[in-house]
Structures are given as C-alpha cells and as structure tokens.
Structure 1
Amino acid sequence: MPARPLPEIAFVGRSNAGKSTAINTLAQQKRLAFASKTPGRTQHINLFVLGPKDAPDALFADLPGYGYAAVARDAKLRWQRVMADYLSQRETLSGVVLMVDSRHGLTDLDKQLLEFVSDRVTAGEVSLLVLLTKADKLNRKEGAAALAQVEKELAVLATEDSDIAVSLFSALNKQGLDDAAELIYDWAHRAPRVLSSDDEDEDGV
C-alpha cells in the first residue's frame, strides 16, 4: 500500500451488498468502482483520489467484497488477513463505511469484519458508518425495523469517544445519500488526531 498523507475512507461489505454502486453514487461517477459479473473477482484494495486534481484532499479505499462460497478457501483467508491488517493498522484510515444489505442485516461475516476495526472505533480513532443498502426494497415499517436491529447490535461499540452512525441507503432513489456524503466529507476534513501521552509507547513513537 502506498503511503499517502491523505485521510482514507474505507468501503467494505459483502460482494452483493451494493458497495461499488454506492461508491460511484457518492463520488458522482458512473464507472469509478467496477462491479464484476463474477463474484470475488476483485482481489486488491483500490484507492481513488478525491478532490481537486492539483490538490487532492482524501482517498476512497475500495476493499475486496467477501462472502461468496465459490471463492477458494485460501483466497478467502488471504483477503481476510489483508483486510484485518489494513483496518487495524493503516495509520491514515479516518473512517469505515460498512455496506450491509438492509434485507438481511449484519451477517456473521460483517460482524467478523467489525472486529478487525473495533478497537480503533471504540477509541475514537476511526469513525464507522453502516449503510443499510437497497433500502428501496423495504417498506417504511421494514426499514425502521432493520435500522433498529443494527443500531442495537452496534451498541457494544458505543463509547464516549466512538463515532458511529447507521443509515438506510439506496443508490437507486438516493435515500440517505446527502447525509452519508456530508458525514464522509466531515471525516475527511476534520483536524488530525493529536496523540496523548497514553497513546505514545515507551520509545515516544
């Protein structure tokens, strides 16, 4: 991974959760992130530079989708290690956007991925936004129930320092788009985190 002095917003989610569509919609581009017809085809972390061409101010990081049984076990384990390392160690990571199909809620794999970044979220080092995608397929009552369930499950990560949000989202009818865009913009443009004495190790690094 190249070292870039820009805040990164990582997009993660199952291969069929609508991640690529959401990235394209938020970036106002039609073919920025590609959705392959063959699940599991994306095997890299793709970085997209945002902002003015001569003065970029943020990056979108598109992580490989997960969850398809057709992908070889070795490949799954390799992706898991890559994502775990990235989410737990990437210094410039400012926020994580987890895409979850609103009809299914948080799956075991989604919860496993949240564990990779949970320490940083609870410490307030990395912000978290869970977008419940394909919300246009739910009626009002179903949408409210899906939202309440995920909020309940994320309560374990809530601390005085944590920054966690959950929202219904639809790239088709733009539901939740403005709120998500504003939140992600704020993540990318907030003041850098200042290390306290508790954050420094014994060597002062």
Structure 2
Amino acid sequence: MKLLSAEFIKSSVSPEQFPADHLPEIAFVGRSNVGKSSLINSLLHRKKLAKVSKTPGKTRAVNFFTVRTSDPKLPLLSLVDLPGYGYAKVSKTMRAQWGPMIEQYLEQRQSLGAVILLIESRVWMPQDVMTIQWVQSLGCGLIIVLTKADKLRQSERKPTLTEVRVACGLPAEVPVLLYSAETHEGRDALWGEIRAQFNGLQKHESGTSELR
C-alpha cells in the first residue's frame, strides 16, 4: 500500500465546527504530550503536517486530516487528532470546554470507525485504563499504541506489552502495538490494523456486520 496524499482539512474548537460526517474516521486519543502529533506525522510520512510542540496540551482543537492511499480497500479516510487529556498548560476554563467536546465527538460521531489510544510505553497511568474502558463501552474499534518505543530496552518490550494488556483487561482481539515516531518502528503494523478496522466499516456499510 502506498500513501498517495495527506492533507490538513480543518481545526474545530466546538462540535458545531466539525466537518461533514461523510468519511470513515480514525480518532487519535491520549494524554497530553504522549506524542499524538508526532505519531500522525510519522504515520503519514510527513514532518510538519500535524503541529508538534514540547508544551503539553498544545493541541487545543479537534484537527481533521484526509488521507488517500493506493489500497482499493482503504481509498480515503479521515484521521482525527483530539486534544490530549490530563495535564495541560491552559486555563481550567479551556480544559472544561475540551471535555464535553471530546465526549460529544466520541459518543455521537457517526463516521467514527475506530479509536487509536496512545499510551506512553514507560509512563502509563490509571487514567489511561479508565479511558480504555470508556472507549470500549462506545462499541467502536480500538487499537492501543504504546509510544516512544525507542526508549524501551529489548528486554522490556514483551513484558511491557503483556503488562498493559493484563492491567487494562484487554481481550485478545484488541491489538497492542509498539511505535516510535523517531525510528518509525511500528508504522507498517499500525497501518495494517487501520486497514483491518476499515474492512470492518465496509462490511457495516454493506449490512453484513456492525462495528458501532
């Protein structure tokens, strides 16, 4: 599969500003500074498409990107970068606004096919577990990605994957992947899981299965 194009579409600071609900969407969720924007840039073979900042909580809007590939089963989809939860160097008022916006997107967006939940491989928290449980309750697809995998020693990799799966109570069908935005390790594997989720969406549209 080749990535033919990727472009930024829109930033929305309220649900009323979300673009039309017409493309299958994959949403990226995670704590502030977990590396969502860096991962999106790596995944799309771009350096600056998604804005990256060293300041936690820099993503203050829901950002939409459109991706076109050579795969006939994955011709066109939307990637959605959601504001990070947890610590952020912004006002309490702004953080209070983020919560309802993120909840409304995840709970009501009809084109949402799957959530990619990012967890820092060496620093995961109870809040991550609660977010996983919430996403599972929504009934959409779920992919767990452990970021900054280049910081793990080889001997830590398999135990970390097992520890996260057990602690979060994840069933075998929920993939847990390691990813490094620095080395692009895990990029092909993540695209493979995204394609699998998209195939589920196609079956849903034909009436042979239900994803959400």
Q: TM-score scaled by structure 2?
A: 0.78
| Equivalent position of 1:203 in the other structure | none
Alpha-carbon separation, structure 1, partners of 2:114 and 2:192: 13
Q: How does 1:178-197 map to 2 (within 5 A)?
A: 178-190=188-200, 191-193=202-204
| Equivalent position of 2:165 in the other structure | 151
User: Is the 8 Å Cα contact of residues 33 and 54 (structure 2) preserved in structure 1?
Assistant: no
Aligned-residue offset at 1:189 = 4.4
Question: What SS class does the counterpart of residue 90 from structure 2 fall into?
Answer: coil
Alpha-carbon separation, structure 1, partners of 2:58 and 2:188: 30
Q: 1:135 aligns with which of 149, 152, 166?
A: 149
Q: 1:99 aligns with which of 118, 128, 150?
A: 118
Higher strand share: 2
Alpha-carbon separation, structure 2, partners of 1:148 and 1:118: 19
Question: What SS class does the counterpart of residue 46 from structure 2 fall into?
Answer: coil
Unaligned runs of 5+ in 1: 200-205
Deviation digits for residues 104-153 of structure 1 (CA, Å, limit 9, x no counterpart): 12x233233334322233xxxx2111111111111122222211111113
User: Is the 8 Å Cα contact of residues 100 and 130 (structure 1) preserved in structure 2?
Assistant: yes
Q: 2:55 aligns with which of 14, 38, 44?
A: 38
Aligned-residue offset at 1:45 = 0.6
User: Is the 8 Å Cα contact of residues 29 and 36 (structure 2) preserved in structure 1?
Assistant: yes
Alpha-carbon separation, structure 2, partners of 1:29 and 1:170: 14
Aligned residue-pair number: 187
User: Is the 8 Å Cα contact of residues 132 and 168 (structure 2) preserved in structure 1?
Assistant: no
Letter in 2 for 1:153: A
Aligned-residue offset at 1:180 = 0.6
Alpha-carbon separation, structure 1, partners of 2:133 and 2:191: 25
1:109 paired with 2:127, answer yes
Alpha-carbon separation, structure 2, partners of 1:64 and 1:168: 21
User: Is the 8 Å Cα contact of residues 149 and 180 (structure 2) preserved in structure 1?
Assistant: yes
Runs of 4+ in 1 over 3 A off after TM superposition: none
Question: What SS class does the counterpart of residue 28 from structure 2 fall into?
Answer: strand
| Equivalent position of 1:120 in the other structure | 138
Aligned-residue offset at 1:69 = 5.1
1:166 paired with 2:176, answer yes
State which drifts further: 23-32 or 70-79: 70-79
Aligned-residue offset at 1:6 = 1.1
1:66 paired with 2:85, answer yes
| Equivalent position of 2:3 in the other structure | none
What percentage of aligned pairs have identical amino acids? 38
Aligned-residue offset at 1:183 = 1.3
Alpha-carbon separation, structure 2, partners of 1:164 and 1:77: 30
Alpha-carbon separation, structure 1, partners of 2:90 and 2:175: 31
Alpha-carbon separation, structure 1, partners of 2:22 and 2:199: 13
Alpha-carbon separation, structure 1, partners of 2:68 and 2:198: 11
Letter in 2 for 1:151: R
TM-align CA RMSD? 2.6
Alpha-carbon separation, structure 1, partners of 2:97 and 2:127: 15
